[in-house]
Amino acid sequence: MPRRSSRQSILAFGAAIGLSISSAFQPANAAKDVALVSGAFRRSIPVSDLAYLAETNRARGFLSDLLRLGKQDPKQVAKLLNQKLELPLVLTSRLMSTRIGDVIIRRIATIIYPLKVPDPSVSVPAIRAGVINGLQKEDGGLSLITFLEAYPANVMEVNLPALLSLIEKAESIADLVKFFSDSPLDGLK
């Protein structure tokens, strides 16, 4: 009889751990705000305002002011927020656990991370959880909105200088690719 009791205790303990782990990734812990941060400057945009823009093509609150100042068309931003990447859940999970996946996520983690916690030991698992939970929510696809709604921190910080540096590098890479694709070297083949 004592054997059965200890086995039941172990099973109950295992079930309790499983429930606590699964509840840790429920939408209740999803990002509520996206904080745009540059040095001492910090301004937050509620995820609900981003979701509203994605659904209606209309901005509200600070997001409306931000789009107007940046001369951005709300419809184009809504299109970007709704753009869905078709990603298989199992394959994506496996790829994120490879060396190259880890390198990519660590680089992304220098741009986005839980507010005031840029440490990779926290930010990398948060990104992984946001991707996996978002994929589960969207059944094989991921949009920026579903990622934010699945990100396991109340506030996701966006490091603006790091983001702008990435955009600048991406533009220079695009210019480099364009240069070589339009190059007169094609005639030398």
Percent helix, strand, coil in the chain, to 5, is 65, 15, 20
Helix (H, G, I), strand (E, B) or coil at 157: strand
Average pLDDT on 59-86 reads 93
CA distance 157 to 35: 5
pLDDT reported for residue 112: 96
Q: Domain count of the chain?
A: 1
pLDDT of residue 181: 65
Residue 88 maps to a domain: yes
pLDDT band at 1 (very low <50, low <70, confident <90, very high): very low
The better pLDDT of the pair 181, 65 is held by: 65
Q: Residue 2: inside a domain, yes or no?
A: no
C-alpha separations of 175 from 20, 165, 180, 187 in Å: 49, 15, 9, 20
Look at residue 171 and tell me if it is in a domain.
Answer: no
Domain span at residue 65? 28-161
Is 185 within the bounds of a domain?
no
Q: What is the mean pLDDT of residues 116-142?
A: 91
Per-residue pLDDT, 147: 95
**Res 27: pLDDT:** 46
User: Is residue 115 assigned to a domain?
Assistant: yes
Q: Report the pLDDT averaged over residues 97-111.
A: 93
Residue 6 lies in a domain: no
For residue 47, being part of any structural domain is answered with yes
Mean pLDDT of all residues belonging to the chain:
82
Determine, yes or no, domain membership for 20. Answer: no
Q: Among the listed ranges 34-38, 113-117, 124-128, 173-177, which one has the minimum average pLDDT value?
A: 173-177
In this predicted model, which residue has the larger pLDDT, 108 or 186? Answer: 108
175 confidence band (pLDDT: 50, 70, 90): confident
**What confidence tier does 168 reach under pLDDT thresholds 50, 70, 90?**
confident
